[in-house]
Amino acid sequence: MKVRSGFLAQSNLRTRGLGYDRRTSKARSLTGFSMRRHVRALLRKGEEGSALVEIALTMPMLLMVMTAICTFAIGFNNQLTLTSAVGSGAQYLQLIRTTTTDPCQDTLTAIENAAPSLTPSSITLSFSLNGTPVSGNSCAGDQSDLAQGQPVTVTAKYPCALAIYATKFATGCQLSASVTEYEY
């Protein structure tokens, strides 16, 4: 077999199962080359595979950070939704407080309709009608404290659950929003 020198000749020899010995400038068979030497030569060769190791080490941390960002974004979205719903509920209460038999229950219904992404049974309300605190979701009965022209305050609380990979952060977390409406 005739051996050519140069880069092209070396690549041709390797594809045929032959190695090229640089010291003697002769072709040799790779069958006598031990696997352990071959692996060691590959590891010494350079940084092949280091990118895969880096990705394997950093990917779990990156995914955890991305999940935490998404979880906190859901919490902030719930806070904004609750604040907006309480604002519209307080405006609705200011309009209907003397024209209905249970304005607090109607306000809760308006807040639940304004916040469809929140669980309705988890929303707790408290009211301050003309300076008189009313707790609970119903204020049926005596409507003497519902005089027109006086401010109404609606306060809502909603539980937040910040769980990242089954680890609960801020277990006693409560989102709250309070809006005072004045009639002019």
Going by C-alpha positions, the residue among 112, 184, 99, 119 that lies closest to residue 154 is: 112
- φ/ψ bin of 165: left (φ > 0), alpha (ψ from -120 to 50), beta (otherwise): left
Q: How many residues does the chain have?
A: 184
Question: Using 50, 70 and 90 to split pLDDT, how confident is the model at 15?
Answer: very low
CB 107 within 8 A of CB 137: no
CB 154 within 8 A of CB 83: no
Question: Using 50, 70 and 90 to split pLDDT, how confident is the model at 37?
Answer: confident
* pLDDT-wise least confident of 38-47, 93-102, 115-124, 126-135: 38-47
> Which residues lie closer than 8 Å to 27 by C-beta, 6 or more apart?
1, 3, 13, 18, 19, 20, 21
Q: Are strands 162-164 and 124-129 parallel, antiparallel or unpaired?
A: unpaired
Question: What is the C-alpha separation between 87 and 134, in angstroms, rounded?
Answer: 18
CB 123 within 8 A of CB 136: no
Q: Where are the domains of the chain?
A: 7-46, 82-181
Question: Using 50, 70 and 90 to split pLDDT, how confident is the model at 165?
Answer: confident
Give me the chain's average pLDDT, please.
77
Give the pTM.
0.66
CA 138 and chain centroid, separation: 35
Tokens 């003309």, residue? 130
Q: Token pair of 98, please?
A: 């003397």
pLDDT in tens, 47-88: 667 778 888 899 999 998 998 898 889 889 999 999 999 999
Task: Return the DSSP state at 3.
Answer: -
